[in-house]
Amino acid sequence: MRPPILNPLFASLSALPGIGPKAEKLFARLLARDGEPPRVIDLMFHLPSGFVDRRNQPKLSEVVPDTVVTVAVTVDRHRPPPPHRTRVPYNIETHDDTNTLTITYFNARQDYLQKLFPEGETRYVSGTATLYDGGLQMVHPDRVVDAAGFKKLPLIDPVYPLTEGLHPNQVRKALDLALARVPKLPEWQDQAWLTRNAYPSFADALRSIHRPATPDELRPESTAWSRLAYDEILASQLALALLRAHMRGRAGRGSASEGRLRARITAALPYALTPSQQRATADIVADLAQPQRMLRLLHGDVGSGKTVVALLAAATVIEAGRQAALMAPTEILARQHLSSIAPLAAAAGIRVAILTGRERGRERADILAALAAGDIDLLVGTHALFQEDVAFADLALAVVDEQHRFGVHQRLALARKGDAVDLLVLTATPIPRTLVLTYFGDMDVSELREKPAGRQGVDTRTVPLSRLAEVIDAVARALDEGRRVYWVCPLVAESESVDLAAAEERYRALKQRFGDAVDLVHGRMRGGDKDRVMERFATGATRLLVATTVIEVGVDVPEASVMVIEHAERFGLAQLHQLRGRIGRGAERSTCLLLYRAPLGAAAKSRLAILRETDDGFRIAEEDLRLRGEGDVLGTRQSGMPGFHIARIEVHGKLLAAARDDAALMLARDATLQSPRGSALRDLLYLFARDEAIRLLGAG
């Protein structure tokens, strides 16, 4: 139950005067509430992106075009459009003693504007001044007031991100009403910490940011913004600590084994395990033998051999007579795992099956029956693994690949498929240390730093799109030499259909030149069709594969040694590194050509330069975080993982360790959050949508 004191903040925005159904829809779009009614708290956490400074009021002759200004002008005359010419603008001519200004409105009511701008009177107008036809113009000013109104105007006026159809004044009015509803909440922060950092209260921090007295109050480094950022980080760390305590608190079942199956797998490998693979395996085997449940994150560079470590972990519980599951985010990746695991599992006598959306009817029923009877040791699959009718005989280990595409709910859902299931999470994106703390604070961490022996370096070059014909000639030479080539098409927008159109267009053009050697794979194809395309490419039946980013993760064709990435400037650093990781897997030297449209912006230039310099995924991940921020690095902009509204990792990352320690100390003293501060912290978890963690307090 949400504490009643928070009800004013969780009320619908439509409860505020002046917000009808139309405005509510616009606010829902602005606040990313996807079909849910927007709430007062959502508006409170919609922070300004800039401000208008009215402390300096220039004369018209001093106005710099294309800037937001506040000027005092005398109204000369109105020039309404001719009757029935609705597209012609309504102009109001004004002046001060140095110059003239035309104020322009479209589709405006004449009676309203004549009241707003009485001829002969002075008005203070605020908005963006531009040059039009040689004169100063302001279209739809943000503010128009008389002298008395100007005295009441805030001199520092925050500017908010908007959505089409929503006026800044609507946001300001709604915020005025919302700020009046913020209740006096019990303090959840440690008093000594508040004093040391000179943090205001939660309510005062919100007021300071939304109604600042100076521009400094709107900087993320300000005490008000830092206070709210620390609140958000603490809520996140407390939720992770509660999840960890919940998972660890439920008794585990140790799965100890002598390692016979592991020895058979390592003997069947064509290479020796790297030192970090050996360390990670030893850590996991030790965890699995404990009576507490394992919660471990395994992250490493592209091609560092996470799947083998996951298989060795599975072999440990299988030798102890139990079962394991490996869950991947896409069918292509699940089948890729199966093909790389199958020969090693066969060598060790491990019975493996796959379950995705494609297994239906009799085939699916047979798999489920064998699983429930204990005749399958390791089940590989997609989200299909945690559907209700999937029952294991005795699931001991759940391996979740590409964790950031699954939420905590799914992590828990798979773990509930057995009694005290151990959890191993894999990600092929090396994660910067600050983000490991942020998103995986409930887990122990293993890193795979080296690549297995025999992996080739990749020669990475940048080429402007103006040299496209030369690149196609180079691809022709590679194909003549019998090499296999990926051609990755641009990320046009966050729209699969637009990306697909770009891929199909490139496929048609290359097919004209290379005929049946060319194939196409994209995310909208049926699973079976995708598999057949990948199979043709893997066997060499086709040798030039045009693809969208569907091949980004897990696709393994060692014979592919050339990659062309079209419009590389549109991709993130980590994504480019992932794509490049699809080559350099075999004995041949490999080349990656990054095609870009000139001129490059500063950020794109930095990304491509880093990629040319290094193939160290851990360094690339840190650079990516510096350039783009945490949501993009983890792919959360696309996959809906809860990023931060208020905290900016690049500014507030230094608060992470303190929040983690604070959460751990609090739970050590008050594990069920019953003390006065514990009760206030429950409010905090609700405010920042981490209340799912509160339910864990009552769960066994």
Domains in the chain: boundaries:
50-159, 226-249+657-698, 260-448, 458-614
Question: Please, what's the b/e burial string for 541-559 (b: 16 or more CB within 10 A of its CB; e: otherwise)?
Answer: ebbbbbbbbbbbbbbbbbb
Range scoring the smallest mean pLDDT among 177-191, 218-232, 238-252? 238-252
- Averaging pLDDT over each range in 248-262, 297-311, 365-379, 603-617, which range is the top one? 365-379
CA 237 to chain centroid: 18
Question: What pLDDT sits at residue 686?
Answer: 94
Per-residue pLDDT band at 12 (split at 50, 70, 90):
very high
Type of residue at 528:
G
Mean pLDDT of the chain: 88
Nearest to 31 by CA among 44, 19, 14, 49: 44
Nearest alpha carbon to residue 428 among 410, 448, 412: 448
Mean pLDDT of all residues in 301-312: 88
Mean pLDDT of the region 496-511:
78
User: What's the first-to-final CA gap in the chain, in angstroms?
Assistant: 18
Residue of 559 and 642 predicted with greater confidence:
559
Residue 406: predicted pLDDT: 52
Cβ contact 684:662 at 8 Å: no
pLDDT exceeds cutoff 50 at 637: no
What is the rounded CA–CA span in Å between residue 623 and residue 187?
37
- Predicted pLDDT at 301: 78
Can you tell me the distance from the alpha carbon of 65 to that of 129, in angstroms, rounded to the nearest whole number?
Answer: 5
Say how far apart CA 402 and CA 444 lie, in whole Å.
16
pLDDT grade for 632, boundaries at 50, 70 and 90? very low
Cα angle: 657, vertex 660, 666; to 5 degrees: 140
Predicted confidence at residue 634, as pLDDT, reads: 41
d(CA 158, CA 177): 16
For the record, the structure tokens of 623 come out as 């650079």
Question: At 496, is the pLDDT very low, low, confident or very high (cuts 50, 70, 90)?
Answer: low
The yes-or-no verdict on residue 588 having pLDDT over 60 is: yes
* Confidence (pTM): 0.64
In whole angstroms, how far apart are CA 352 and each of 259, 307, 364, 377? 19, 14, 14, 6
138 falls in which pLDDT band (50, 70, 90)? very high
Look at residue 199 and tell me whether its pLDDT is greater than 70.
yes
Query: From 2.40.50.140, 1.10.1060.10, 3.50.50.60, 2.130.10.10, which CATH number describes the 50-159 domain?
Result: 2.40.50.140
Contact call for residues 74 and 95 (beta carbons, < 8 A): yes
- Provide the pLDDT confidence category of residue 699 given band limits of 50, 70 and 90: very low
pLDDT of residue 495 exceeding 60, the answer is no
**DSSP 8-class letter at 20:** -
Superfamily of the domain at 260-448: P-loop containing nucleotide triphosphate hydrolases (3.40.50.300)
CA distances from 16 to 31, 171, 179 (A): 16, 12, 11
- Binning pLDDT at 50, 70 and 90, where does residue 169 land? confident
CA 413-637-20 angle, 5° bins: 95
Tens digit of each residue's pLDDT (9 = 90 or more) over 25-66 = 999 999 987 778 999 999 999 999 888 888 878 999 999 999
Contact 393, 323 (CB under 8 A): yes
SS3 of 430-492: CCCHHHHHHHHCCCEEEEECCCCCCCCCEEEEEEEHHHHHHHHHHHHHHHHCCCEEEEECCCC
| Between 359 and 462, residue with greater pLDDT | 462
Assess whether the region 260-448 and the region 458-614 belong to the same CATH fold.
yes
458-614 has which CATH code?
3.40.50.300
Q: Strand 100-105 vs strand 135-139: parallel, antiparallel, or unpaired?
A: parallel
Q: Which of 51, 43, 63 has the alpha carbon at shortest distance from 153?
A: 51
Three-state secondary-structure class, residue 422: strand
Binning pLDDT at 50, 70 and 90, where does residue 153 land? confident
